Chain A
């Protein structure tokens, strides 16, 4: 299982990549493995602002459905619409092409509440 060093992680198995005040968000390799085949990623168009912990969409897999939570607050500046037609990208490349949204952070201090790779691995018992 893949755990990129440079990312931050949440208890809900999202990852966050920070570039300036832009955070790119997706779900972890562990999460996609647990979900199994992802069949739909539903991120409603009408959500433009999120606060940390708020649901920004749902992910439907063959066996289960899960909410997607924003790890940080801010404006949603981009949604990965290629997941509409190819949701399986989340399984194939969770940290790359399978990214979900980009947020312009309004409170970057929230990043301090997230886990680094070692803490995330420890949480998973790896």
Chain B
């Protein structure tokens, strides 16, 4: 099991550690997931997300290579811009969702899910043939902290050597954090104002930046927050989680990721199948629902019923601390996808009433 360079800091903060994506990661700290969730929504929290994978793509054909392996149109990017995208197999199934960073016209970075690093790396190598590109798996070199919440900018500004104000959502700048080179990226998985800091360096560098962020955020009550609230925060915004809401058996169109599937950009992995799915309309769709009556949390793989037959399956579910309601995502047959549709979730031999709602759950 791998450890990030913040591991000792997690132990010092009495984190509850779990295995996740091959790393020992903090799922929560002693105050708990709901506290951490609200801290990010209302002020600012700091996540260690160094388990994410970073692949560097350099060379003359870097853009052409990325265009082939991803669904979104990377030609729209210029240096300093970030794009949410996906990689698909030829059959349209999703290899992974990812962020694409344009650092220079011939220097790009792909940020992939920690649990998929090996699979994605192999997939990139397999697709590299014919392209003049050099790939480097920088995962073990790069530390990644996500500082998220309305007070994140005021926090990071104190330890950054550049003005953060001009950095718009899904943009980044190279700068220094505590005198160390970093990619300062206005991105995140929480739906709040937030910054992700990518930086190289050993444990002493990582711990220095960790301590400096904590100190800078002290006046806002900043605390380290774990993967548990990362999940509840992203679910309220209906951001897909790979392994739950999307995987190799789902395609971006049915997952509601048509907006990152640019069929007019030219051929790419899976484009023929995806064009057909779009044309014929998906048979099932990822929808959001709320539990309307009972005290019950829907969990992955619980079955969804309507009209006395199974019409789908839950992919994610949890309490929404912001709404104080139970919410979930799942695939349902297309006839049941409209907001207002009454459905039922089966668990433990009981049927719990729910209703399809418009996404996101929390605007």
Q: B-contacting residues of A (Cβ < 8 Å)?
A: 36-37, 39-42, 58, 60, 62-63, 65, 84, 88, 91
A42 to B318, CA, bound (A): 16
Shortest CB distance B337–A (Å): 27
Q: Given A62-B232, A63-B33, A65-B299, output 17 extra A-B contacts at Cβ < 8 Å.
A: A36-B33, A36-B228, A37-B32, A37-B33, A37-B34, A39-B34, A39-B297, A41-B295, A60-B319, A62-B33, A62-B34, A62-B228, A62-B318, A63-B27, A63-B228, A84-B295, A91-B32
- 10 nearest CB pairs, A to B: A40-B295, A39-B319, A37-B32, A60-B297, A62-B33, A37-B34, A42-B295, A37-B33, A36-B33, A36-B32
Q: Are A62 and B319 in contact (CB under 8 A)?
A: yes
- Rounded to whole angstroms, the CA-CA distance of A26 and B348 in the bound complex is 22
Q: Chain A residues near B295: list those with CB within 8 A.
A: 40-42, 60, 84
Measured between beta carbons, the chain B residues less than 8 angstroms from A88 are: 34
Tell me the minimal C-beta distance from B87 to chain A in angstroms: 29
User: B296 to A42, Cβ gap below 8 A?
Assistant: yes
- With a CB–CB cut-off of 8 A, which chain B residues contact A36? 16, 27-28, 32-33, 228
| Interface membership of B294, Cβ < 8 A | yes
CA distance A62 to B16 in the complex (A): 14
A84 vs B295: C-alpha distance when bound (angstroms): 9
Is there an interface contact between B297 and A40, defined as CB atoms closer than 8 Å? yes
Does B348 contact A58, Cβ atoms closer than 8 Å? yes
A41 to B296, CA, bound (A): 9
Does A65 contact B33, Cβ atoms closer than 8 Å? no
CA distance A58 to B28 in the complex (A): 23
B28 closest partner in A (C-beta): A36
Mask of B281-323 contacts with A, CB within 8 angstroms, 1/0? 0000000000000111101000000000000000000110000
C-beta contact mask, B4-28 vs A, less than 8 Å → 1, else 0?
A: 0000000000001000000000011
Measured CB to CB, the closest approach of chain A to B3, in angstroms, equals 21
Residues of A within 8 A of B318 (CB): 62
Give B203-233 interface residues, CB cut-off 8 Å to A: 228, 232
How many angstroms between the C-alpha atoms of A40 and B297 in the bound complex? 9
Instruction: Tell me the smallest distance from the CB of A123 to a CB of chain B, in Å.
Output: 20
Give the distance to chain A from B61, nearest Cβ to Cβ, in Å: 44
- What residues of A have a CB within 8 angstroms of the CB of B319 in the complex? 39, 60, 62
Q: Can you name the residue of chain A whose Cβ is closest to the Cβ of B36? A: A37
Give 1 or 0 for each of B218-253: 1 = CB within 8 Å of chain A CB. Answer: 000000000010001000000000000000000000
Scoring A39, A84, A88 by chain B CB atoms within 10 A of each residue's CB, the highest score goes to A39
